[in-house]
């Protein structure tokens, strides 16, 4: 859960999952929604709701920040896709070449490249490169790296692009950026960093679902790529999902540039934070975790004083125990293991901590842990074998439930006006 090896296991699991459509999950959620599936203290979201009410003439940016529950894509795609259906689709938002980094990511797009890449993440103890806005970076010493984006748009998210913003650091300001079919403008990145940290804005003459960008004259310096923002030229919701397997609140705060870069590059009106699972398996005490939550919230508010923040509590994850037993197989005895699941008390501790912190600081919160427990039968077949992660269906159900909770709060906001 907190290493590259475990990230690969998550990828293997998701490949084998039978995908269901968002519509099917929506019908299931509508039939079984728990009565406590609400946003608590939702008046703290009124500035965001006011922006939603003007979405026909604006782009409303949402950042959904998290861990492996977010990196895989199923949860945020379900929430973001439903919001875009209701309020309009402004584009795919933040994307990153997870496949080139050797880890799992959303399945509606893929990146290709002519070179091999190395990677660093915010959770890595020894990092050669700063991870940047997405909490992860790929880098190479190629003199002319090429990256190609291929949108599939087969999971309810539209990958049509009229503008792409690529964030990179070529180690020089003299690099040439070329993208066929696009007018390219290179400017300094809109957040603190090295003097060669850059943003290339690609404006396409017609909508594209694929594009290729080449950086030339890079010399022998290290080239770093941090990710991209994709927009389609329409008003509506721009839903950015950034999640790193194994991430905790502290990882996004330890390197100030990561959280600050997210805020400045994405300019969200709403930040949804879905962290806490890894804290519950870390052995950290409540006071230490609370300090990390507070540091993250304070940093976000320093960067974006008018932003609304929504904290979500973690799923009802379990711990596992293995008990060996021997059984005769033919003429020989073999060792087998019985796997039992039992509650992780730290999950309840983190859940209550997030609720208490939200109440103390006037933040909106979604107690998914309570919803998960109340809808135990609905999630019974939706867990991964580790009972920490969900299957694709489980994440899609979770994502739809978050959308339903937001939709209810927005409807109440309109009634109260």
Q: Can you give the pTM of this predicted structure? A: 0.90
pLDDT reading at 2 higher than 60: no
Q: How far is the C-alpha of 62 from the C-alpha of 266, rounded, in Å? A: 8
pLDDT reading at 137 higher than 80: yes
Coil vs helix vs strand at 177: strand
Do 200 and 184 touch, CB atoms closer than 8 A? yes
First to last CA, the chain: 44
Model confidence at 120, pLDDT cuts 50, 70, 90, reads very high
pLDDT reading at 28 higher than 50: no
More confident residue, 231 or 335: 231
pLDDT recorded at residue 26: 46
Q: How far is the C-alpha of 109 from the C-alpha of 120, rounded, in Å? A: 21
pLDDT reading at 331 higher than 70: yes
pLDDT reading at 30 higher than 50: no
Give the H or E element holding residue 40. Answer: strand 39-40
pLDDT recorded at residue 101: 98
pLDDT recorded at residue 33: 57
pLDDT reading at 416 higher than 50: yes
pLDDT recorded at residue 10: 37
274-328 pLDDT, tens per residue?
Answer: 999 999 999 999 999 999 999 999 999 999 999 999 999 999 999 988 888 888 8
Residues recorded for the chain = 417
Residue closest to 39 by CA, chosen among 355, 389, 380, 377: 355
pLDDT recorded at residue 154: 64
What are the φ and ψ backbone dihedral angles of 225, each rounded to 5 degrees?
Answer: -125, 130
Model confidence at 415, pLDDT cuts 50, 70, 90, reads very high
Do 292 and 330 touch, CB atoms closer than 8 A? no
Do 53 and 87 touch, CB atoms closer than 8 A? no
41-71 pLDDT, tens per residue?
Answer: 999 999 999 999 999 999 999 999 999 999 9
Model confidence at 159, pLDDT cuts 50, 70, 90, reads confident
Q: How far is the C-alpha of 68 from the C-alpha of 104, rounded, in Å? A: 9
Q: Which residue has the tokens 């730290």?
A: 346
347-356 pLDDT, tens per residue?
Answer: 999 999 999 9
pLDDT recorded at residue 322: 82
220-251 pLDDT, tens per residue?
Answer: 789 999 999 999 999 999 999 999 999 999 99
Helix extents (H) in 309-367 = 345-361
256-268 pLDDT, tens per residue?
Answer: 679 999 999 999 9
Do 51 and 268 touch, CB atoms closer than 8 A? no
Q: How far is the C-alpha of 309 from the C-alpha of 286, rounded, in Å? A: 21
Q: How far is the C-alpha of 82 from the C-alpha of 29, rounded, in Å? A: 13
162-219 pLDDT, tens per residue?
Answer: 999 999 999 998 899 999 999 999 999 999 889 999 999 999 999 999 999 999 976 7
More confident residue, 155 or 18: 155
CA distances from 20 to 15, 163, 170, 231, 393 (A): 13, 30, 41, 26, 6
Model confidence at 6, pLDDT cuts 50, 70, 90, reads very low
**Bridge partner list, 326:** 335
Residue closest to 113 by CA, chosen among 22, 246, 225: 225
Joined tokens for residue 325:
């037993």
Q: Which domains does the chain have, with CATH numbers?
A: 1-90+238-317+343-417 (3.40.50.1110), 92-233 (2.60.120.1360)
């Amino acid at each position: 859960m907190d290493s590259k090896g475990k990230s690969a296991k998550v990828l293997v699991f998701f490949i084998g999952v039978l995908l269901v459509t968002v519509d099917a999950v929506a019908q299931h959620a509508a039939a079984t929604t728990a009565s406590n599936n609400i946003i608590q203290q939702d008046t703290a979201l009124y500035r965001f709701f006011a922006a939603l009410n003007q979405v026909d003439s604006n782009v409303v940016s949402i950042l959904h920040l998290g861990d492996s529950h977010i990196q895989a894509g199923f949860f945020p795609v379900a929430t973001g896709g439903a919001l875009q259906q209701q309020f309009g689709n402004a584009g795919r938002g933040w994307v990153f070449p997870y496949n080139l980094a050797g880890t799992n990511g959303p399945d509606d797009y893929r990146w290709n490249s002519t070179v091999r890449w190395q990677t660093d993440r915010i959770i890595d103890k020894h990092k050669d490169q700063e991870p940047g806005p997405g909490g992860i970076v790929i880098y190479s010493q190629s003199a002319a790296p090429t990256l190609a984006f291929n949108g599939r748009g087969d999971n309810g998210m539209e990958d049509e692009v009229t503008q792409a913003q690529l964030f990179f650091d070529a180690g020089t300001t003299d690099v040439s950026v070329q993208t066929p079919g696009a007018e390219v403008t290179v400017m300094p990145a809109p957040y603190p960093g090295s003097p060669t940290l850059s943003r290339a804005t690609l404006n396409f003459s017609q909508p594209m679902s694929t594009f290729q960008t080449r950086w030339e004259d890079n010399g022998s310096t290290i080239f770093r790529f941090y990710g991209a923002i994709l927009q389609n030229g329409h008003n509506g919701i721009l839903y950015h999902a950034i999640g790193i397997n194994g991430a905790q609140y502290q990882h996004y705060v330890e390197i100030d540039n990561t959280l600050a870069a997210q805020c400045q590059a994405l300019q969200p009106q709403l930040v949804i934070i879905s962290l806490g699972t890894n804290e519950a398996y870390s052995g950290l005490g409540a006071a230490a975790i609370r300090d990390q939550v507070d540091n993250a919230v304070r940093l976000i508010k320093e960067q974006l004083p008018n932003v609304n923040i929504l904290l979500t509590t973690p799923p009802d994850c379990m711990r596992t125990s293995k008990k060996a037993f021997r059984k005769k197989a033919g003429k020989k005895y073999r060792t087998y293991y019985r796997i039992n699941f039992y509650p992780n008390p730290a999950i309840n501790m983190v859940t209550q901590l997030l609720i208490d912190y939200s109440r103390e600081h006037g933040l909106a919160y979604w107690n998914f842990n309570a919803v998960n427990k109340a809808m135990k039968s609905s999630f019974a077949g939706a867990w991964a074998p580790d009972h920490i992660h969900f299957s694709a269906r489980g994440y899609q159900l979770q994502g739809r439930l978050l959308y339903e909770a937001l939709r209810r709060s927005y409807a109440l906001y309109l009634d109260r006006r």
